[in-house]
């Protein structure tokens, strides 16, 4: 494997909103997402996020949209926040053609560090569509555990996409930091 410069991390600003939306959409929706393994194209159509969601995450107190760049080019992003005393992790996206190259593992570690050191929280939680067994296994290999807590999928709310199946739910995963 050839040498690559390290990832550089920074917090997103309002100037980054369009780039973040494009990255998230490319990682989860449509044909472009099928290049990577995180696609939800067989589960959902429609949008995964929008400028309004990303800007709200940037502007929210005790919240950060984390960007991972290499040579000034956006490679990945994630949203971390304080959610009622627990860390929240979401909007995790890596450029589809670069998935499985270790970028996601580095972003997840940085997100955990931010939640632990900057927010002072001891548990990080996320919600994952429970039929995404390969994705859940990825998180389990990194120390996350299935809590058994399930939340309904917001059918009828197009901000979360247009479901292609009627059996979607979220499951809460968590990790002690």
Classify residue 138: in a domain, yes or no.
Answer: no
Classify residue 145: in a domain, yes or no.
Answer: no
Across the chain, mean pLDDT equals 93
Structural domain count of the chain: 1
For the chain, percent of residues with pLDDT exceeding 90: 78
Domain that holds residue 79: 8-126
pLDDT for 45 equals: 86
Residue 24 CB neighbour total at 10 angstroms: 23
For the entire predicted model, the pTM comes to 0.93
Classify residue 175: in a domain, yes or no.
Answer: no
Q: What mean pLDDT comes out for the span 159-175?
A: 93
CATH at 80? 3.40.630.30
Classify residue 47: in a domain, yes or no.
Answer: yes
- Give 45-92 pLDDT, tens digit per residue: 888 899 999 999 999 999 999 999 999 999 999 999 999 999 999 999
Classify residue 140: in a domain, yes or no.
Answer: no
Which of 4-8, 82-86, 105-109 shows the lowest per-residue confidence on average (mean pLDDT)? 4-8
Find out whether 17 and 134 touch, Cβ atoms under 8 Å.
no
- Give 30-51 pLDDT, tens digit per residue: 888 888 887 888 898 888 899 9
pLDDT for 3 equals: 64
Classify residue 13: in a domain, yes or no.
Answer: yes
CA distances from 18 to 13, 15, 22, 176 (A): 10, 8, 6, 33
């Amino acid at each position: 494997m050839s040498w690559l410069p390290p990832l550089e991390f920074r917090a997103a600003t309002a100037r980054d909103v369009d780039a973040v939306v494009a990255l998230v959409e490319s990682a989860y929706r449509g044909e472009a997402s099928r290049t990577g393994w995180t696609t939800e194209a067989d589960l959902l159509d429609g949008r995964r996020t929008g400028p309004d969601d990303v800007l709200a995450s940037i502007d929210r107190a005790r919240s950060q949209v984390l960007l991972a760049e290499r040579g000034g080019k956006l490679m990945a992003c994630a949203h971390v926040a304080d959610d009622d005393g627990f860390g929240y992790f979401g909007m995790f996206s890596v450029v589809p053609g670069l998935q499985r190259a270790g970028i996601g593992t580095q972003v997840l570690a940085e997100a955990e560090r931010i939640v632990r050191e900057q927010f002072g929280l001891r548990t990080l939680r996320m919600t994952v569509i429970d039929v995404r067994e390969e994705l859940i296994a990825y998180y389990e290999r990194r120390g996350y555990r299935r809590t058994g807590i399930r939340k309904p999928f917001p059918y009828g709310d197009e901000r979360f996409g247009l479901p292609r199946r009627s059996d979607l739910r979220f499951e809460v995963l968590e990790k002690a930091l």
